[in-house]
Structure 1
Amino acid sequence: MRILLLGGTWFLGRAIAQRALLSGHDVTTFNRGRSAPDLHGIAVVRGDRTDEDDVRRLASHGPWDVVVDTSASEMAPYQVQAAARMLAGVADRYVYLSTVNAYTGWPHEPLDESSPTYYAPPNSGRDFGAEQGTTIHYGMQKAGCENAVRDAFGEYATILRPGVILGPGEYVGRLPWWLRRSERGGAILAPGRPVQSIQPVDVRDVAAFALDAPLGDFNVAAPQGRATMGDFLTACLEATGGRGRLVWAPDGLLKKFGVREWTEMPLWRTAHGAWAVDSRRAVGAGLSCRPLEQTVADTWAWLVSGQEPVKHPRWDDHGIDSEKEQKILAVLG
């Protein structure tokens, strides 16, 4: 299979490139060459997807069986639409990596693929929905990008909506922060309830599904009820040597101290639908999720190997300050 990968040099894009090469596919990547080197064995086309001349030059390297788009996170819908339209003549189908944020109900309601998404026109700009606030604006922009892909490829579009993606190469810093905190040991502030179900998915499993997914829309998350926050943090302790002790803090206490959900305590979210994403359709279509413990162990092995993720400002948003953690632990005794 001939694959055009928009992006392809870091985290999910790199994992897709690696998986494609291992599967014997012919892979072309298109990126600016600024974040990380491309993998050996890949045909590389340099350029900016927001530049019409660059995309036209890219199209001359086709045709491809599929376009896999992992690089549109900062793109406005009209920019995704323009590039997708130019590639529609040289590619059979398009796989777009979106997010569960495109749903109007996330994170407050349980979700499946029939749940309503935000609306934004496929040709809308970056400011569309900005007056709604950061979270809704982001969801509207992603939904608009989905519409942009459908505008260009119609029924030959695959829309993947992952939740939290973890694994080796993670640039956001969620799992790496918990691993480093576990490595330090001592009393470790653990958020909420250990029995809280969580659904992070391994980057390598998302990559495999992105290459094999059929047409249509799919939520990409680990099955509900398979792993808990307690499982996750215990796996972090085991991977790093088990020197720490988890001290669980109720949601109310964390809120009293102003702990920010999702960032100061990575993966901690109290909204009812945060970890209620139905992924049975994707599982039925071939999504296979490895145990969370394996993701944790492999990420620790990657961290201690000396490899570094692509630098990203979101990394510094994650993790609670040690002094603040100790104040909360003191209350818990």
Structure 2
Amino acid sequence: MRILLLGGTWFLGRAVADEALSRGWSVTTFNRGRSAADLAGVEAIHGDRTSPRDLERLTASGPWDVVVDTSASEMAPCQVLAGARTLSAQTGRYVYVSTVNAYTGWPDEPLTEDSPTYGAPADADRGYGADADGPTHYGIQKSGSEAAVLSQFAGRSTILRPSVILGPGEYVGRLPWWLRRAERGGTVLAPGRPDKLIQPVDVRDVAAFALDAPVGNFNVAAPLGRATMSDLLDACLQVTGRRGHLTWADDDLLTRHGVREWVELPLWRTAPGTWAVDTTRAMEAGLVCRPLPDTVADTWAWLQGGEGRVPHPRWDEHGLDPVKERAILGELVLD
């Protein structure tokens, strides 16, 4: 099996490359060569996927059985369209990693693959939908990129819509922040209800499914009902030596203190559809999700291995200032 991986050096892209190599597949990666070192064992081609000349040069190394696109998160649909058009004759199938943000109802409503998406056009530029808020603009753009892939790979494309992906190599910094907070110990402010169901999925499980999934659209998340916020934070305390203990604050108190959902206390969000993503179709197609404590333990091992922080601007967005945490905890004590 010959695979072309658009990306291949960070987080999900690297996990896909690792998984494909472990299967004995031939892996070509295409990226700018700026983010991280190329993985040993791949055929690395450096170039800018927004450059027609670089794309044409890439096709000379084809054909491939499948292309897996993990690197289009900041690209306009029209740019994804240009790349898909160039690769359409050289690739049997296209796997595009989108997001649940492409649904108009996320995070307010439960989702299935039949839920409506924003429906942006395949040739939309970066400004399309720019008058919306940041997450909505992102979702609009991703829905247009889905349309771009489908326009060139009709009947031979796979659209994956993950929710939150965690695991070793995470560049967003959500789970690493919780692990570092647990490591500091003391009284740890825990958000919302301990029994709040959550659905983060391990990056390695997404990678394996990206290589195995058939044609179609799939929500990619852990099965609902398997893990809670308490399970996640308890696992963080466990692997870091149990230096701290959790004190839970309800949503109203956190909101009164202006705690930014999803960011200051990562993975905490009050919208009812945040963790209501139906993954039945993906499970039936072969998605297998490892236990959340395994993801936590392996991420801690990765952090302890010296790689630690991935240089990405989103990392600095996450986490609650200790002064603010103490203020909220103080109010809980007074109550």
Cα distance in 2 between the residues matched to 1:281 and 1:271: 23
1:37-65 Cα offsets, whole Å, 9 max, x none, are 11111111110000000000101110000
Q: Name the residue aligned to 1:142.
A: 142
Q: Name the residue aligned to 2:181.
A: 181
1:248-283 Cα offsets, whole Å, 9 max, x none, are 000000000000000000000000000000011101
Is the Cα–Cα contact under 8 Å of residues 162 and 219 in structure 2 kept in the other structure? Answer: yes
- Deviation, structure 1 residue 192: 0.1
Cα distance in 2 between the residues matched to 1:19 and 1:82: 28
Please give the secondary structure, in 2, of the residue aligned with 1:132: coil
Matches within 5 A, 1:299-314: 299-314=299-314
Is the Cα–Cα contact under 8 Å of residues 104 and 117 in structure 1 kept in the other structure? Answer: yes
Count of aligned pairs: 333
Is the Cα–Cα contact under 8 Å of residues 303 and 309 in structure 2 kept in the other structure? Answer: no
Q: Name the residue aligned to 2:168.
A: 168
Q: Name the residue aligned to 1:159.
A: 159
1:238 paired with 2:212, answer no
Cα distance in 2 between the residues matched to 1:316 and 1:26: 36
- Which one-letter code corresponds to 1:31 in the other structure? N
1:6 paired with 2:6, answer yes
Q: What is the CA RMSD across the aligned residues, in angstroms? A: 0.6
Q: Name the residue aligned to 1:87.
A: 87
Matches within 5 A, 1:256-275: 256-275=256-275
- Deviation, structure 1 residue 13: 0.2
Q: Structure 1 residues 290, 276: CA separation in 2 closer, same or farther (over 3 Å shift)? A: same
Please give the secondary structure, in 1, of the residue aligned with 2:154: helix
Q: TM-score normalized by structure 2?
A: 0.99
Cα distance in 2 between the residues matched to 1:21 and 1:133: 39
Cα distance in 2 between the residues matched to 1:7 and 1:118: 25
Please give the secondary structure, in 1, of the residue aligned with 2:112: coil
1:278 paired with 2:290, answer no
- Deviation, structure 1 residue 309: 4.3
Q: Name the residue aligned to 2:324.
A: 324
Cα distance in 1 between the residues matched to 2:142 and 2:262: 20
Q: Name the residue aligned to 1:251.
A: 251
- Which one-letter code corresponds to 1:58 in the other structure? L
Please give the secondary structure, in 1, of the residue aligned with 2:120: coil
Q: Structure 1 residues 67, 309: CA separation in 2 closer, same or farther (over 3 Å shift)? A: farther
1:86-113 Cα offsets, whole Å, 9 max, x none, are 0000000100000000000000000000
Q: TM-score normalized by structure 1?
A: 0.99
Q: Name the residue aligned to 1:225.
A: 225
1:155-194 Cα offsets, whole Å, 9 max, x none, are 1110000000000000100000000000011000000000
Q: Which runs of 5+ in 2 are unaligned?
A: none
Matches within 5 A, 1:65-84: 65-84=65-84
Please give the secondary structure, in 2, of the residue aligned with 1:246: strand
Matches within 5 A, 1:4-153: 4-153=4-153
- Which one-letter code corresponds to 1:73 in the other structure? S
Cα distance in 2 between the residues matched to 1:278 and 1:309: 32
Q: Which runs of 5+ in 1 are unaligned?
A: none
Query: Which aligned segments of 4 or more residues in structure 1 are displaced greater than 4 angstroms?
Result: none
- Which one-letter code corresponds to 2:5 in the other structure? L
Q: Structure 1 residues 6, 235: CA separation in 2 closer, same or farther (over 3 Å shift)? A: same
Is the Cα–Cα contact under 8 Å of residues 182 and 236 in structure 1 kept in the other structure? Answer: yes
- Which one-letter code corresponds to 1:202 in the other structure? D
Q: Name the residue aligned to 1:214.
A: 214
Is the Cα–Cα contact under 8 Å of residues 36 and 310 in structure 1 kept in the other structure? Answer: no
